Amino acid sequence: MSADKHDVIIIGAGAGGSFAALRLAKAGLKVLLIERGPRFDPSKDYYLNEPEWEFKDPFEKHIPDTYVSVPKPLSSKFSHIKSTLFKNEFTSREFSYERACGVGGSTLKYQAEAHRFPPQAFRMKSLFNVGADWPIKYEDIASYYEQAEQILGVAGTKHDLFPKETPYPNPPHPLSCASQKVAAGCKKLGFNLVQNSLAILSRPIEGRPACVYCKLCSKGCMIGDKSSTDVAVLPYAEGTGNLNLIADTAVIKILIDKKGKAKGVLAVNMKDQKEYVFQSRAIVLASGAIETPRLLLNSRNKFYPDGLLNNNGIVGAYLMDNIFAAVLFLFSEKVHSYKGVPIDSRVWDFMVPKPAQGQDRGFSLGSAGAPDGLIGPASFAMKIADGYGRKHREFVEKYYGAHSMVFGIAEHLPKKTNRVGIDKNEKDKLGMPKARVDVTLDSSDHKIIEKMLTLCKDIANASGAEKIISHYTTYDVSSATHVSGTVRMGLKSRESAVNSYGQGHSIKNLFVADASVLPTQGCGASPSLTIQALALRTADHILSEFKKKNL
Amino acid sequence: MDRRTFLIFLAGGLLSGKAAFSHADFAMESEDRIINRFLLHLLGIEDKDIDIYSRLKNRVSRGRGMQYKTILRELELYRKDGDIDLNLFFSDLEARRIKNPVIYPMVESAKIDAATVFYTSKDGWLLAGYDGPPLKGYQDYSVCR
């Protein structure tokens, strides 16, 4: 590997890192993008054309074991919302980080929802006295949302909650049969189920085909219609000739010079275990809300004995988990619920908190058809079809393809005590101390889960469900896909680690461009588009800093 | 011992060895057939020509394989007039009348094994009304690189 000095090193080729790399490389900077995981080849590494596809996950074996979770007791007061979907009963809650590790990051397995955060998400403290205010308003990021949507080819339809000047680049995906029934059910209840905005092509663009509705975004898109960043972003960055992308390489330390500025990184090649030092004038961390604070804390040195950007103990604090509830039900007829995009629709009616009505935060609902993990017939037969013999067979014959899920997702309000630290005992296979995740859901989180669960059941019944068979909530089963907040942005350094551009308050040439910087979770919207828009904004600021010779 | 006597003893030894081997073959084949019938019954599949167990045997661990021996021993208790009464076995299973407690989780494991094999095959897809793997082949599509 070349040890030439680069203008910028970006750590992590996921949602944010890829976008930052694109912008900086296109502007002519020499960019080194380092990714711990491999670069996947859809023709060889994905399995969706094989008979046993249900039991093959291309990403699982590449996810490193880099964190430990502090188990939390379950509140008996809310035991009625514990999950019934799984055969095992959980006696405590443990944080479970859902991610992919590779070029593309978690966009490799995400379901490609491309949501803006609504304007009120940026002012939760001022408007509703919960959460935090961002150091920027919706208007400051709106143009970056537009740019990110264009780059990804987002398919969607405009909605008043998310002010937008231009139409989406692509028409929205149609609702599946299952979601059409759910839409009718929502209408009976006075809710609006609308088409989702998705980073999945609804028509061919630049050699990439439109979606074929296999519903398996989470197992890697074999044909390139899902705009994971390995397909939709990085090829264009590499095409500039200014991007050097190194996969299978883990950064284990950020190096600091005698003036306390970031000067480079120490990295290990995962295949030959050799160490390399790369130097640059600026560094962007984009490894996600667990790994970014982990790296910052593990990079402590004599200048920063508590870790980088952590002068006030803020790094790792305010971790936000997923707050989720879902109901699995059966229609009385088959609706091919295993076809479509993973989440084709959302109900945005609850995005504005209503404290007087017991809703202290925003949340949204959605229709998923057959959910991940239950899409194929073998999984259905194993996990859903009870009994033996004829009873079991007849259940599969009748109900496979008639099963459907309605879910709710709420924001997790930031609390300083929910945090990522460094574990004193455990290290990963590279010898780097693991992250220690300590997150507790409190009674207000449980109440919102309870509320969403009730609404989901109401929607299922109103949609004509023959039977609700089970439910799942993050009261007991963690599935953290939207984890965020651990290197939050803000105006004041005592309450934040970076400014609104993701630039370190205490180390000016160190930036963060991932979910760590989010002060709030967007009222129930998915965060990836916001991460990507912020990454573009961060990159523009880096360019400005270079121009002013500040870096 | 003269040569004739020696040859008689040799022939007897060879024949009894072959008989023993044939008996072992027959016994093993019979066990596999019983387990396969059990798996078909477990999933409610009426086509007795479908072979789940052969596919499953190659995939399960040695420990898991021993579970099938345990199930087989339990099934033998239901042998009546030369045949195993699977209906009675499953009736006792569902009513929790089977005394050996390990049978219950073992049957659940077997159900998972059988469903995994059967519903990733064309026969299983036909039964479920599923048209097969989500994509027909990578070569049908192109990806922008």
Which candidate in A380, A396, A403 is best for mutational testing of the B interface (most B CBs within 10 A)?
A: A396
Q: How confident is the model at residue A418 (pLDDT cuts 50, 70, 90)?
A: very high
Which candidate in A393, A394, A398 is best for mutational testing of the B interface (most B CBs within 10 A)?
A: A393
| B19-78: pLDDT as tens digits | 433 333 334 458 899 999 999 999 999 998 999 999 888 777 777 778 999 999 999 999
What is the residue-wise DSSP string for chain B? --HHHHHHHHHHHHHHHHHHHHHHHHHHHHHHHHHHHHHHHHHT---TT---HHHHHTTS-HHHHHHHHHHHHHHHTTEETTEE-HHHHHHHHHTT--S-TTHHHHHHHHHHHHHHHHTTSHHHHHHHT--SSS-S-GGGS----
Nearest by CB: A208 against B116, B134, B143: B143
Residue B13 has pLDDT above 90, yes or no: no
Q: What is the ipTM of this complex?
A: 0.89
Nearest by CB: A222 against B44, B112, B135: B135
* Residues A98/A111, Cβ–Cβ less than 8 Å: no
Nearest by CB: A389 against B44, B118, B119: B44
Where is pLDDT greater, at A270 or B143? A270
Exposed / middle / buried, residue B10 (Cβ in 10 Å: 0-12, 13-18, 19+): exposed
Q: Which amino acid, one-letter code, is at A32?
A: L
Task: Return the CA Rg of chain B.
Answer: 22
Q: Which residues contact A32 (CB under 8 A, 6 or more apart)?
A: A6, A8, A9, A10, A244, A246, A278, A280
Average pLDDT over residues A543-551: 95
- Distance between B39 CA and the closest CA of chain A, angstroms: 9
Tell me the residues of chain A between 312 and 341 that have a Cβ less than 8 Å away from chain B.
334, 338
| A459-516: pLDDT as tens digits | 999 999 999 999 999 999 999 999 999 999 999 888 999 999 999 999 999 999 999 9
- Distance between A240 CA and the closest CA of chain B, angstroms: 14
Nearest by CB: B44 against A54, A392, A400: A392
Question: A15-26 and A138-152 are packed helices; what angle lies between their axes, rounded to 10 degrees?
Answer: 90
| A107-149: pLDDT as tens digits | 999 999 999 999 999 999 999 999 999 999 999 999 999 999 9
- Distance between A199 CA and the closest CA of chain B, angstroms: 16
Average pLDDT over residues A429-451: 97
Lowest-confidence segment of A158-162, B30-34, B101-105 by average pLDDT: B30-34
Q: What is the pLDDT of residue A354?
A: 93
Taking the model in full, what pTM does it have? 0.93
Residues of B in contact with A387 (CB under 8 A): 94
Exposed / middle / buried, residue B69 (Cβ in 10 Å: 0-12, 13-18, 19+): exposed
Average pLDDT over residues A12-20: 98
Residue A329 has pLDDT above 90, yes or no: yes
Q: Determine whether the interchain pair B44/A376 forms a contact, defined as Cβ–Cβ distance below 8 Å.
A: no
Q: How confident is the model at residue B142 (pLDDT cuts 50, 70, 90)?
A: very low
